Amino acid sequence: MALSRISLTDFRCFSQVEVDIAIEGTTALTGPNGAGKSSVVEGVSWLADQRSFRGSQRDLLVRTGADQAMVIADLVVGGRKIGIRALLPRTRNATLEINSNRVRNTSSVSEVLRAVTFSPDDLRLVQGGPADRRSWLDGILSARSLRAAERIRTVERALRQRAALLKQIARRGGGISPEVGSTLDVWDERLAGCGSLLAEDREDLVGRLSPLVDASYRDLSGSSSEVSLLYRRSWEGDLQEALVRGRQDDVVRQATGVGPHRDELVVLLDGRTARSQASQGEQRCIALGLKVASHAVLSEPGREPPVLLLDDVFSELDHYRATALVAQLPRNQTILTTAGDLPAGMEIGKVVELTADHSLAAPGIL
C-alpha cells in the first residue's frame, strides 16, 4: 500500500490544495507556522481513522464559510490504483467512497489505507484520562480486524440504547417494571457478550504492546527503567451479572457504570503510575514508545505497514532523542511536517513547501 496524492478542498485553512506524495521514503512538508502542514497530515489521518488526531469535532475541519469539506486520496495497493473520497458536511454525517462506490462500513477504508500518527499531542496518551488510552487501543484493534471493529460498534450502540432507557426510567420515577426490566435484559445481554470479547481483545493487544513499548522507551531515553502496561477491567466475574447488580445505581447516574467503556489502561514506569509520577521528559518518551509499538503491531507479517505521519514531532525532542526516534522508525512511506531543519538520518524522497497563504511554493524554489 502506498499513498501517491492527497487533495483537500475546503478543509481547515485550505480552499483547495493537492500534494503529491513520494511512493518510497519520506515526503517532508515544510513552510512557516500556520501554512497548513498539519492540516495535510490531518486529512490523511482522518481518511484512515475517520477522526481527527487533534481531537477536533468534524465541523471544525470545514473551512470557515464553506458547507462541507472534501478529502481525496490516491493510492497504489497491490499494483492497483485506488481512490478514496470523503465528504464532510458541517452538520450531517460524513460519506466515504472507494473507487466512486459508497461504503457503509467505514472499516472498509482501513483495508486499503492505514496510518499511524505521531504528534506532540500524543502526550495525552500518558497524561490524559482513561478514554484517551481506550480510544488508542480501539483504533489499533479496528485497523487490525474487521471483527474487532464490529464489536466496538456493537458495544457503542448497546451503550447508547441502554443509556436512553436508563434516562427514560429516571424520568418516570426510577422504578424498573418487569417490562422495562426485560428490555434492559436484552441490552445487557448484547453489551455483556460483545463487551467481554472486546475486553479480551484489548487484553491480548496490551500483552503484545507492552514489551515493544518497553524496548522503545529504553532506546529513546537511554534509561534502564522499565515501562509496562496493565489492563484493568471495571468489573469482576460475569459482565451481565455485574450489569444487573448495578442497575439501580445506573438509573440514578443515568449511565452504565461497568463495562469496557469504564476500563483503564495503566501505564507504569518502574511500577509507578506514569501519568502522575513520571517526569514530562519520561512521559514524552513513553508516548513515543506507545506509537512506535502500535506501528510495529500493525506491521506484523502478512499485514501492509501503515503510512507513518509525523506532525512536528522533532521540534519537541533534543538531538539524542530525535536521532534515537529516527533509528527506530521503519523505512516505509512517511509524511512529516517541520518548520525547521529536516531530521538527520531519514531518507527524504520529496520536499513540498507550503506558503503562508496556504498554497504550494512555485516550482524551482526548493
Q: Where are the domains of the chain?
A: 1-114+308-366, 118-303
Sequential pLDDT tens for the chain (366 residues):
899 999 999 999 999 999 999 998 899 999 999 999 999 999 999 999 888 998 888 899 999 999 999 999 999 988 899 999 999 999 888 999 999 999 887 777 888 899 999 999 999 999 999 999 999 999 999 988 889 999 999 999 999 999 999 999 988 887 888 888 899 999 999 999 999 999 999 999 999 999 999 999 999 999 999 999 999 999 999 999 999 999 999 999 999 999 999 999 999 999 999 999 999 999 999 999 999 999 999 998 878 889 999 999 998 899 999 999 999 988 889 999 998 888 888 889 999 999 999 888 865 443
Please tell me the CATH code under which domain 1-114+308-366 is placed: 3.40.50.300
Which residue pairs, CB below 8 angstroms and at least 24 apart, start in 256-260? 256/159, 256/162, 256/163, 256/166, 256/191, 258/234, 259/155, 259/159, 259/191, 259/195, 259/234, 259/235, 260/134, 260/155, 260/195, 260/198, 260/199, 260/202, 260/233, 260/234
pLDDT in tens, 163-205: 999 999 988 887 888 888 899 999 999 999 999 999 999 999 9
Q: If you classify domain 118-303 with CATH, what class do you get? A: mainly alpha
Tens digits of per-residue pLDDT, 276-291?
Answer: 999 999 999 999 999 9
Residues 6+ apart with CB under 8 A from 82: 74, 75, 76, 98, 99, 112
What's the CA gap between 297 and 186, in Å, rounded? 35
Short-list 336, 324, 328, CA closest to 299: 328
